[in-house]
Structure 1
Amino acid sequence: MSRERTPEREERIRNVLAHRRKDLTLVMDNIWDPHNVSAILRSCDAFGVLRVHLHYTTEPWPDLGKKSSASAKKWIDRVRHQDAASLVDQLHGQGFRILRTGFSDTARPLWDFDLFGPTAVILGNEHRGVSPELCALVPDELFIPMRGMVQSFNVSVAAALILYEAMRQRRERGLLDEPSLAPEEMERLAADWLTR
């Protein structure tokens, strides 16, 4: 059921779309907990991510439910993938640099990476990490430095921290003031969002 089209709602939608970034995305790799997926989508909405990619080969597709019209899943485009090579090829074809999270000997701290250009970050499964097939295709690995006894953040917290760092870097260089969407993309998306 579509919402009422009011000038206030249209203005809010256009303002949000003016800050959406199509040059920053996350890949959720077999993340099994739907609550984590929902929390990641909420962070994506908050930080202005337009689209995410979901790579599901071993876990069931997450059931995100239909709890409320305020749910972040309404406002984030989701692209489903079942093949690692085609996912990586698609992202490279769109100009994305691809990074993955992990803890191998070659992983570098998040702040070592320049997240200014088009960037996709793969978030691994809560227990197994990033799929071996994606690891083989994406050599650049990042981790979030921690000072406590626990080795890693919850995957949804890690997603928020990564997005924050990307936005911080972009803000420092003035990129957040430049629109990411072309005028025709803005109009198409505004028309679509007004029906959600």
Structure 2
Amino acid sequence: MTPERLERIQTTLNKRQPDLTVITDEVYKPHNLSAIARTCDAVGIPEIHCVWPTDAYRLKSSSTAGSSDWIKVNTHDSIAAGINSLKDRGMKVVAAHLTDRAIDYREYDFTQPTALLMGTEQEGVSDIASEMADEHIVIPMQGMVRSFNVSVAAAIILNEAQNQRQKAGMYDQRRLPDDVYQTLLFEWSQPSILHLCRKHDLPYPKLREDGELLDPQGFSEQVNASHRAKKLRRSNAIAAAKNRS
């Protein structure tokens, strides 16, 4: 961990906006989802929400340019469940949706806790999502086509959100809660140790101010102890199986 790398991680975390996010309603093309995630990372959004028609969600790495390592993805079984979870956190849900009540996206106040709702590529925002949204916004267009690609539209709108928040000074001080900040600082600065923690179901070890482990020997002993315990359980299971046979 170089000092420059640690400083970049800390600077990025200090600008994360925990009360700004995106929720996608079955946006199914991987390159669109990944492009949205890349934009979210660029404007300081720490996590996104996806209603995904299958059990698994994956970001297309070629489109994220590495942003998949820095964005948390939450999946929901239905758009209603996703919207309700965000509203329970005090967020207003604003849908990019062309309706009679839609306003110019630049007129919306993005300094308030907001979840931007983007509909599917072909059908747009679903009826239930439209009804549940607190606000509808549109990007004014002057040509024959009536809409942008979903990832392009998200980028345009989120750039406006970033501009408003910058003017309001919302990037000038850390806004992540301390526990979230410390967790992400560890996960981002120590990916190899993170892998071992998850593999052996170990708590995250404490870091020094320079981003390195406070007690590397103690952590190594924990890993070795876990490895020995797993090996012993396997041996006991094999012996038990032989006894039964």
Q: Report the residue type matching 1:47 in the other structure.
A: V
Aligned equivalent of 1:122: 117
Aligned equivalent of 1:143: 138
Aligned equivalent of 2:13: 17
Question: Contact 2:95 / 2:125 at 8 angstroms: preserved in 1?
Answer: yes
Return the alpha-carbon distance in structure 2 between the equivalents of residues 8 and 68 of structure 1.
Answer: 26
Structure 1 unaligned blocks of 5 or more: none
Return the alpha-carbon distance in structure 2 between the equivalents of residues 128 and 140 of structure 1.
Answer: 19
Structure 2 vs 1, CA of residues 19 and 139 (structure 1 numbering), >3 Å: closer, same or farther?
A: closer
- TM-fit CA distance, 1:178: 2.8
Return the alpha-carbon distance in structure 2 between the equivalents of residues 55 and 81 of structure 1.
Answer: 5
- TM-fit CA distance, 1:50: 0.6
Aligned equivalent of 1:161: 156
The CA deviation string for residues 95-119 of structure 1, in whole angstroms up to 9 with x for no partner, is 1011111112221110121111110
Structure 2 unaligned blocks of 5 or more: 192-245
TM-score between both structures, scaled by the size of structure 2: 0.72
The CA deviation string for residues 157-177 of structure 1, in whole angstroms up to 9 with x for no partner, is 111111111111112222221
Q: Cα RMSD over matched residues?
A: 2.1
Greater relative CO (CA pairs within 8 A, separation 6+): 1
- TM-fit CA distance, 1:146: 1.2
Aligned equivalent of 1:106: 101
- Percent identity of equivalent pairs: 37
Return the alpha-carbon distance in structure 2 between the equivalents of residues 140 and 127 of structure 1.
Answer: 21
Equivalent residue for 1:95, pick from 82, 86, 90: 90
Q: State whether structure 2 residue 26 is matched by structure 1 residue 30.
A: yes
TM-score between both structures, scaled by the size of structure 1: 0.89
Structure 2 vs 1, CA of residues 193 and 153 (structure 1 numbering), >3 Å: closer, same or farther?
A: same
Report how many aligned residue pairs link the two structures. Answer: 191
Structure label with greater radius of gyration: 2
The CA deviation string for residues 39-95 of structure 1, in whole angstroms up to 9 with x for no partner, is 1111111111111000124x7855434559952111101100012332222111111
Return the alpha-carbon distance in structure 1 between the equivalents of residues 149 and 108 of structure 2.
Answer: 21
Q: What SS class does the counterpart of residue 111 from structure 2 fall into? A: coil
